[in-house]
Chains A and B, each alone.
Chain A
Amino acid sequence: MAPVFAFVAGLTFGLGLIVAGMADPAKILAFLDIAGTWDPSLLFVMAGAIAVGLVAFAVARRRTSSVLGLPMQLPTARAIDTRLVGGSLLFGVGWGLAGFCPGPAIVALGAGYGKAGAFIVAMLMGMAAVDLIERKRVRSESETPDASGA
């Protein structure tokens, strides 16, 4: 059952993006262009989504398992560090370059836009590169106990 609900959630999410106009990079870039003719629509999208999200996550927080009996897996990371800020700043640069973030790019690919496909393939490569670097780093740190113990 779980994948069925996940599919419906993804479909609903995508329809929300389309209705909100957020699948259109031109509209995202109009939001990010505060010095030009600014379109604040994205803030209203966030407000609408968070209004519902606040209730949903308040309920989710009090449960240890989901309605389907699956474990409730809410993020546990709390660190506000260089990695979080640096990564987020970098993400914002890419967002500003293309007008795409991951969700809208997948929706635009579903609508048949090749450029969205190119964005997604590159994004997957970027993610895989980080995973590779991080795995190597963790391995080399565990191989030199002296350094990690210092």
Chain B
Amino acid sequence: MTLDSGAFTPWSATAGGIVIGVAAALLVLANGRVAGISGIVGGILSPRSGDVAWRIAFIAGLLAAPVVHSAVSVLPAITIDGTYPMMIVAGLVVGVGTRYGGGCTSGHGVCGLSRLSPRSLVATLSFIASGFATVYFLRHLAGS
């Protein structure tokens, strides 16, 4: 393991993290809902009446973020190295996995850990572990 000191951005990472925390705080204190993005999206697929508008509004906010950011300052680079077929496979796996696992990085990783939920801790350690394993396989075993 080598630390990538050039790419490592502790200050902007912490600042961005605090902003994410504020967003989660706003959603739970104003709307009474947990900012778990896979759950917010998934809830639209099997809609219950009166439970759809806030979900669409939250997702619209996420979509608007890069537009608003660009209006104020240059959008940081977004580099997607994976191919289209890779995106489709990854998307399917993420959809199935988050539905069975009951959450993703935001729901389990941010909100669940903030609630001190043992369930979310297990989920978070699980997806980070398999994420490590997947990238290790792709970059150091399969690719070399």
Contact = CB atoms under 8 A, between A and B. Distances in A.
Interface of A: 2-27, 29-30, 32-42, 44-57, 59-61, 65-68, 70-75, 77-80, 83-103, 105-116, 118-131
B16 A48 contact: yes
Contacts of A68: 30-32
Interface of B: 1-4, 7-10, 12-35, 37-38, 41-42, 45-46, 53-70, 75-82, 84, 86-102, 104-106, 108-119, 122-124, 126-136, 138-140
Contacts of A114: 84
Contacts of B76: 18, 21, 23-24
Main secondary structure of the interface of A (DSSP, over half): helix
Given A5-B26, A6-B31, A106-B63, A95 B127 contact: yes
Contact of A101 (B2, B14, B68, B104): B104
B119 A93 contact: no
B25 A52 contact: yes
A98 B109 CA distance: 18
B110 A125 contact: no
15 contacts: A6-B27, A6-B61, A20-B13, A25-B82, A32-B128, A49-B114, A60-B29, A74-B28, A84-B102, A90-B93, A95-B94, A100-B91, A103-B104, A122-B88, A125-B91
Main secondary structure of the interface of B (DSSP, over half): helix
A129 B4 CA distance: 39
Given A53-B24, A66-B31, A94 B92 contact: yes
Given A3-B53, A16-B20, A89-B97, 8 more contacts: A6-B53, A13-B19, A44-B10, A70-B31, A84-B102, A87-B100, A96-B135, A106-B59
Nearest to B65: A14
A15 to B, nearest CB: 5
